[in-house]
A and B are shown apart, each in its own frame.
Chain A
Amino acid sequence: MRDVVIIGSGPAGYTAAVYAARANLNPLVVASSVEFGGDLMNTTDVDNFPGFPEGIMGPELMTQMQKQAERFGAEILYDDVTSVELAGSIKKISLGNGDTVEAKAVIVATGSAYRKLGIPDEDRLSGYGVSWCATCDGAFYRQKVVAVVGGGDSAMEEATFLTRFADKVYIIHRSESLRASAVMQQRAQDDEKIEFIFNATVARVYGDELVSGIGLVDTVTGEERTLDVSGMFIAIGSDPRTHVVHGQLDLTENGTIAVAGRTSKTNLEGVFAAGDVIDPTYRQAVTAAGSGCVAALDAQHYLESLPHDLTAAHHSA
């Protein structure tokens, strides 16, 4: 039996692992088989994580966090959680390899998943010109014209990154004001290859085998038009990834896992949640990391509060 199992290996999961490991809780991190390290694995320069004045590459940052957790005894498992039983004093976590792990406390740090536009042919053309990851797919758009959909930091970052390869990058945003931070907006606006199209939504994506264009609707006039592009990168935010805890943990109206006040405590004793999966607002690497710390400390206090015999059980186990 484990003291604590952490589900997820982004900044929240690994920070929780660092704190739990330093508290001698010997945490097991179920890191996922192909998405370990979380969203930052698909980014390039991270310039807003404190402590790195020259910036750091996202995958490098996550590798460092992992090493830091392992240094204090955290165990990392590259597998996926297929189901959980979170009620009761002993939690059960089932894994892709068929094993079931038991734990006294669980920290859910499953992050979020990219949001889709929800338009016809989006799925069919996914991987054939429709993408959610400029750093993964940008290099295939050398000297092409592409569109980025969205108005937040990630849209600005994707667009700026894509100018390394593409001849022209449209940023399509549904309103007139961007949500992106001032520095990211400025960088995009100063870029000669980037052109903004405001007050427009994407209603269609066209293409037989590969994307050839997108259909835009002006949100003010209702006017429709087609834009010839070879690629469409979607950066319209993400949704909390809660499917594995559905029906067991209470969710908020935003779809995030509900926690009590400033804590990480869910509706179930011994189950804590951290990072983007509880955060409808900020969703930054550093806020996720802070949230992971909170969850580890809450889990530690919970374990200390358990009746002594249950605590003793793990020392002999």
Chain B
Amino acid sequence: MSSARDVTDQNFATEVLGSDKPIMVDFWAEWCGPCRAVSPILDQIASEHSEKIDVVKLNVDDNPETAMKYQITSIPTMKVFRGGEVVKTVMGAKPKPALEADLAEFLA
């Protein structure tokens, strides 16, 4: 379904909060149709901008602690972290051009 690697409650701190590069976390779940729809688009963005931004995914069912910490109440939600802080939140499945516009500051 997606080529992005998974992060978990256990490795969130090292993988995401400790990342040198801006890193986008895709909060998703198996049962979420729009998540499945947007997943290949995030993969494309990740591969086209791999030098600028990392893209990982977090399954909210398997990792409730992190989902709760970041107050996820709707998925898909994409959060960009830089230096351990959330610097951008994008909500909902959107077409690629719309997502690229939302993320422009990190892709340029």
Could you show 5 A-B contacts with beta carbons less than 8 Å apart? A33-B95, A33-B96, A41-B34, A139-B60, A210-B73
Chain B, residues 71-82, CB within 8 Å of chain A (1/0): the string is 111110100000
Complex interface: chain A residues within 8 A of B74 (CB): 127-128, 131, 136-137, 140
Q: Which residues of A contact B (CB under 8 A)?
A: 32-37, 41-42, 59, 80, 96, 126-129, 131, 135-137, 139-141, 209-210, 231
Q: Which residue of A lies closest to B68 (CB)?
A: A140
A136 to B30, CA, bound (A): 11
Residue of A nearest to B93 (CB): A34
* Cα(A274)–Cα(B51), bound, Å: 45
A211 nearest CB neighbor, chain B only = B73
Q: Is the CB of B95 within 8 A of A42?
A: no
Interface centre among B61, B91, B96 (most CB of A within 10 A): B96
A140 to B72 CA separation, bound complex (whole angstroms): 7
By the criterion CB–CB under 8 Å, are A136 and B32 in contact? Answer: yes
Known: A33-B37, A33-B41. A137 touches B93 (CB 8 A): no
Contact A34 B77 (CB under 8 A): no
Residues of B within 8 A of A126 (CB): 91
B34/A137 in contact, CB under 8 A: no
In this complex, the interface size class of chain B, counting residues with CB under 8 Å from chain A, is 20 to 34
Shortest distance between the CB of A225 and any CB in chain B (Å):
24
Give 18 new A-B contacts, CB below 8 A, not counting A35-B37, A136-B74, A231-B73.
A32-B95, A33-B95, A33-B96, A34-B93, A34-B94, A41-B33, A96-B95, A127-B77, A127-B91, A127-B92, A131-B73, A131-B74, A136-B32, A136-B75, A137-B73, A140-B60, A140-B67, A210-B71
Q: How close is B15's CB to chain A, nearest CB, in angstroms? A: 23
Q: Are A80 and B95 in contact (CB under 8 A)?
A: yes
Residues of B contacting A: mostly = loop
| CA A247 to CA B32, docked complex, whole Å | 36
Chain B residues whose CB sits within 8 angstroms of the CB of A59 once the complex forms: 33
- Bound-complex Cα distance A210 to B77 (A): 15
Q: Are B97 and A42 in contact (CB under 8 A)?
A: no
| Binary flags per residue of B25-36, CB closer than 8 Å to A gives 1, else 0 | 000010111100
By beta carbon, the residue of chain A nearest B94 is A34
Of chain B, the residue at the smallest CB distance from A34 is B93
Distance of B43 from chain A, by nearest CB (Å): 13
For the complex, what is the distance from the CA of A88 to the CA of B92, rounded to whole Å?
A: 37
Q: Which residues of A contact B61 (CB under 8 A)?
A: 139
Residues of B near A42 (CB, < 8 A) are 33-34
Q: Are B29 and A209 in contact (CB under 8 A)?
A: no
Asked whether B38 is an interface residue with its Cβ less than 8 Å from the other chain, the reply is: yes
Q: How far is the CA of A36 from the CA of B93 in the complex (A)?
A: 11
- Closest B residue to A82 by beta carbon equals B97
Residues on A with C-beta less than 8 A from B32 are: 136
CA distance A137 to B91 in the complex (A): 12
Bound-state Cα–Cα, A135 to B30, Å: 12
Q: For the complex formed, measure the closest distance between the CB of A304 and the CB atoms of chain B, giving whole angstroms.
A: 35
Tell me, in angstroms, the Cα distance from A33 to B34 when the chains sit together: 10
Task: Find the A residue at minimum CB distance from B35.
Answer: A136
- A127–B29 CA distance with the chains assembled, in angstroms: 16
Docked CA distance A128–B75 (Å): 11
A34 touches B37 (CB 8 A): yes
Most chain A CB neighbours (cut-off 10 Å) among B37, B61, B77: B37
Residues of B within 8 Å of A141, CB to CB, are 73
